[in-house]
Amino acid sequence: MKKVIQGKELWEVMDKTVNLLCDAVSSTLGPTGNNVLINHWELAPYITKDGVTIASSIESDDQIENTILEIVKEASLKTNEKVGDGTTTTLVLLQSIFNESLKIIKEGYNSILLKKELEEALEEILKKLEKEKQKPKPKHLLQIAKTSANDEKIGNLVFEVYQKMKNKYSIQIQEGLKEEDYFEINRGYTLEVEKISTLYFQKEEKLLWKDVNILILKGRLESLEEISEIINETLKSKQPLLILAEEIEKNVYEEILSLYLTNSEKILAITIPEYASHREGIEEDLIAISKAMIKNIDYEKVEVKDLGLIKNIEIEKEKITLANQKEDLKKYIKDLKTKYKNCHNSYDKEFLEKRLSKLEKGVATICVGGVTKTEIKEKIMRYEDALCAIDHARNGVVVGEGVTLLKIKENLAEKNQGFLILKEAISQPFIKIMDNLGKKVEPIQQQIQKYQYQKVYEYKTDKYEDINDTSILDSYDVITTALKNATNIASFLLTTNFLIINEKDKIEKDVL
């Protein structure tokens, strides 16, 4: 069975759905944006002002509305995926572009032509925005973190950790064991693993093993008999053993756990937590750290000489940290940096950066505390936003997005309808921020124009700050990504004239 809607009927549903989603999310924009309470059937109710979380939580029982919702959500999800922030700005821009464009399309303007004009206007805006970009100073990064988190303490802590680690790939955020927030740094190569049996942690939260033999295996480890020489040597020497394999049968885990519990043998087996080329990258790192020889268990004999050695390992329920001597890895790290420079795939490049961070700096963990689970979950979202924002701000910052986009609007030509629509859209973040502050837009806008955009409004002091000494800053990457994704998704919606939904026929059969 199929449902098909088109033309005006489709426009009406789009209009209703786009504005429902964007209104809910845009209410959170700015330093005094509102919170949203979310009650999800799988989770306890929680409060947040995180744009992508709010957008992801909005669904409809109507299949047509839900289909459009998923397309609109993609704009915020793509922004969050790429830069980790700016999801609310994306939807504020998208809403304006969609609404203004729909008006003239209903009057007969060609939607395909309008899409081309919007793309042309976007390119012009991006060029102007690049001229506003400035190289960030440490104080700028600190302010970006505070603004993104909308919290002084969170911003300060993220900045402090970031200054030590230099990139987000060396920093983890998790629920802490105390009510206050804190961080700790593990100087070593950390592996996130599937949860290790709690039976290993009966007396303490962490296990510290010294002079650990390490065995690295490709293929499936189906029985301890396949590595009998290694197991016998371990039982004889009483030296700890860490087994890292591609796949491990359940009975192997059980046998090893039995040895640990009954004979106090320090043996642990885990699977390498990645796939394909990324798993191979981790294997290469482990070989470089331990000097182990990797063997394929499916057709190669495993011997004691294949073992590597790690001076110290720290074992927790969901991660293992292996000590490494950076001095011994200088050539390996240098080669990895060359590989990083020559890599053009963003996904692989990010993974290489993560590997380099682990090898050179270790991993910092920000432990987030609180009185309730709701509070902790909401704070973790703020930490994640601040961390992503500060990391992307390395590529450049601009004076507050609302003011910068207003300045660009003032100098943007009106070549065609696409330029007119985007010119209106880029003023909306400023307007929405002022609305959420409870301020009248026009007087503040006029005052900023009077200062020729050399001063910006600071709501905390109710005064205007010089742009060379202001705390109102945003990441260049975040704003450009928001503009691109908002224009892209709005354009696709506007050039869609049919919606087809295929449903499975419901056939009821008598049970004989």
- Using the predicted structure, report yes or no on whether residue 185 has a pLDDT greater than 90: no
Average pLDDT over residues 245-268: 90
Residue ranges of domains in the chain, CATH in brackets: 2-134+397-501 (1.10.560.10), 138-187+361-395 (3.30.260.10), 189-324 (3.50.7.10)
Q: Pairing between strand 455-458 and 463-466? A: antiparallel
Average pLDDT over residues 420-427: 93
> SS3 for 291-318, per residue?
CCCCEECCCCCCCHHHCEEEEEEEECCC
pLDDT for position 503: 67
How sure is the predictor about 511, in pLDDT bands with cuts at 50, 70 and 90?
very low
d(CA 114, CA 237): 75
Residue 326 and residue 360 in contact, taking contact as beta carbons nearer than 8 Å = yes
The H-assigned helical ranges of 210-329 are 228-237, 250-263, 276-290
Average pLDDT over residues 389-418: 89
- Using the predicted structure, report yes or no on whether residue 289 has a pLDDT greater than 70: yes
d(CA 67, CA 4): 12
Q: From the centroid of its chain, how far is CA 145?
A: 15
- Using the predicted structure, report yes or no on whether residue 508 has a pLDDT greater than 50: no
Average pLDDT over residues 60-74: 80
Q: Buried b / exposed e across 395-414, counting CB within 10 Å, b at 16+?
A: ebbbbbbbbbbbbbbeebee
193 or 82, higher pLDDT: 193
Average pLDDT over residues 277-282: 90
- Using the predicted structure, report yes or no on whether residue 512 has a pLDDT greater than 50: no
Q: Give the length of the chain.
A: 512
d(CA 496, CA 4): 13
Which of 9-13, 341-345, 438-442 is the least confident region?
A: 9-13
pLDDT for position 224: 92
Q: What is the mean pLDDT of the chain?
A: 86
- Using the predicted structure, report yes or no on whether residue 487 has a pLDDT greater than 90: yes
pLDDT for position 41: 63
Average pLDDT over residues 446-451: 91
- Using the predicted structure, report yes or no on whether residue 278 has a pLDDT greater than 80: yes
- Using the predicted structure, report yes or no on whether residue 126 has a pLDDT greater than 90: yes
What are 301's two structure tokens? 């004999």
How sure is the predictor about 160, in pLDDT bands with cuts at 50, 70 and 90?
very high
How sure is the predictor about 504, in pLDDT bands with cuts at 50, 70 and 90?
low
Q: Which of 369, 338, 336 is nearest to 354 (CA)?
A: 336
CB atoms within 10 A of CB 269: 22
- Using the predicted structure, report yes or no on whether residue 215 has a pLDDT greater than 80: yes
Average pLDDT over residues 313-333: 87
What are 90's two structure tokens? 């994306």
86 or 161, higher pLDDT: 161
Quote the percentage of the chain above a pLDDT of 70.
96
- Using the predicted structure, report yes or no on whether residue 1 has a pLDDT greater than 60: no
Average pLDDT over residues 383-411: 89
Average pLDDT over residues 207-226: 93
pLDDT for position 505: 55
Instruction: Give the pTM.
Output: 0.72
